């Protein structure tokens, strides 16, 4: 298993440009999420999906779109990039495991995409 | 909204000493608390987790404790080694679990 694969690893955009960050997982996980990581702020949830065809907003969804047409892929789109979107983006896939009657969500992260918007 | 506070932001210890990282969460519905280790240039990786029905869990040199009443949980690393140097994140999630709130991270330096 390759796990969670993110492409590209690095990207530089000009303000107003659009692009798509790709994320693919081969673990047949139901859940997938996108986070951004900024210095001193940890990881903040942008959007997430609980299955193909279902997406929802996280903490910081503005300026980003997602879709989930297959279980494997969860692309993140920036329609008009802004300098405030300069960050490191992580995709995660997860499954919910029941143990002792209680569930927990174990997340597996990709290696990240470092995005700079000039 | 819900948040998770993590302290300290930076921690430096001598090899062989113990390291403790503390987190506080705000959402009383949180029931699952994972800890992630992030090495330079990589994504976070789960190292240990604890559910709300357990007070303590140990895995070799790492342990996690949870005080649900006080909404505190902590990571303890004993006999630290240089390869423990990384950024550590605590997190809290509610039933269902796909909305996870992360702390801001602790950068741990272990000096040889």
Torsion sign (Cα): B78, B84, B86, B89: negative
Structure tokens at B99: 């909305």
Find the helix or strand (DSSP H, E) in which A74 lies: none
Res A15: pLDDT: 97
Q: Considering only CB atoms, which chain A residues are within 8 Å of B40?
A: none
Contacts of the segment A39-44: beta carbons below 8 A, 24+ positions apart: A40/B9, A40/B104, A40/B105, A41/B104, A42/B4, A42/B6, A42/B89, A42/B102, A42/B103, A42/B104, A42/B105, A43/A90, A43/B44, A43/B89, A43/B102, A44/B102
**B16-73 confidence digits (pLDDT tens):** 999 999 999 998 889 899 999 999 989 999 999 998 888 999 999 999 999 999 999 9
Measured distance CA(A65)–CA(A57) in Å, rounded = 9
Q: In whole angstroms, how far apart are CA A80 and each of A48, A64, B109?
A: 20, 9, 39
State CA B29 to chain mean position distance: 18
Res A98: pLDDT: 67
pLDDT band at residue B96 using 50, 70 and 90 as cut-offs: low
Taking CA atoms, what residue in B is nearest to A114?
B41
Q: How far away is chain B from the Cα of A88, in angstroms, using its nearest Cα? A: 10
Instruction: Check B103 against A50: CB less than 8 A apart.
Output: no
pLDDT band at residue A46 using 50, 70 and 90 as cut-offs: very high
Res A60: pLDDT: 93
Torsion sign (Cα): B74, B38, A100, A44: positive
Instruction: Check A110 against B103: CB less than 8 A apart.
Output: no
DSSP lists the bridge partners of residue B74 as: B22, B65
Pairing relationship of beta strands A31-37 and A87-99 according to DSSP bridges: antiparallel
pLDDT band at residue A36 using 50, 70 and 90 as cut-offs: very high
Q: How far away is chain B from the Cα of A109, in angstroms, using its nearest Cα? A: 5
Q: How far away is chain A from the Cα of B26, in angstroms, using its nearest Cα? A: 15
Which residues 81-110 of A are in CB contact (within 8 Å) with B? 90, 92, 94, 96, 99-100, 102-110
- Tokens 């029905």 found at: B53
Measured between CB atoms, which of B43, B100, B103 is closest to A112? B43
| Chain A with chain B: Cβ pairs closer than 8 A | 79
Measured distance CA(A8)–CA(B29) in Å, rounded = 37
**B1-17 confidence digits (pLDDT tens):** 678 999 999 999 999 99
Q: Considering only CB atoms, which chain B residues are within 8 Å of A105?
A: 32, 93, 96-98, 100
Measured between CB atoms, which of B41, B46, B53 is closest to A106? B46
Which letter does DSSP use for residue A33 in this model?
Answer: E
Cβ of residue B51 closer than 8 Å to a chain A Cβ: yes
Res B19: pLDDT: 98
Residue A75, SS3 per DSSP: coil
**A51-101 confidence digits (pLDDT tens):** 999 999 998 999 999 999 999 999 999 999 999 999 999 999 988 776 655
Which residues 2-21 of A are in CB contact (within 8 Å) with B? 4
Res B59: pLDDT: 93
């Amino acid at each position: 298993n390759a796990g969670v694969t993110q492409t590209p690893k690095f990207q530089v955009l000009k303000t107003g440009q659009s692009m798509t960050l790709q994320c693919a997982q081969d673990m047949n996980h139901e859940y997938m999420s996108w986070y951004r990581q900024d210095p001193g702020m940890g990881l903040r949830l942008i959007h997430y999906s609980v299955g193909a065809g279902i997406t929802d907003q996280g903490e910081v969804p503005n300026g980003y779109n997602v879709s989930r047409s297959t279980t494997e892929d969860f692309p993140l789109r920036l329609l008009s990039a802004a300098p405030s979107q300069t960050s490191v983006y992580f995709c995660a896939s997860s499954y919910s495991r029941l143990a002792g009657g209680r569930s927990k969500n174990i997340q597996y992260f990709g290696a990240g995409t470092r995005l700079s918007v000039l | 909204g819900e948040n998770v506070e993590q302290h300290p932001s930076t921690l430096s210890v001598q090899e062989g000493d113990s390291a403790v990282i503390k987190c506080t969460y705000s959402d009383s519905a949180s029931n699952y608390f994972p800890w992630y280790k992030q090495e330079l240039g990589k994504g976070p990786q789960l190292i240990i987790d604890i559910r709300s029905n357990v007070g303590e869990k140990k895995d070799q040199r790492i342990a996690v404790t949870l005080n649900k009443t006080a909404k505190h949980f902590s990571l303890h690393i004993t006999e630290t080694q240089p390869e423990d140097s990384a950024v550590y994140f605590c997190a809290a999630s509610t039933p269902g679990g796909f909305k996870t709130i992360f702390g801001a991270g602790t950068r741990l330096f272990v000096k040889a």
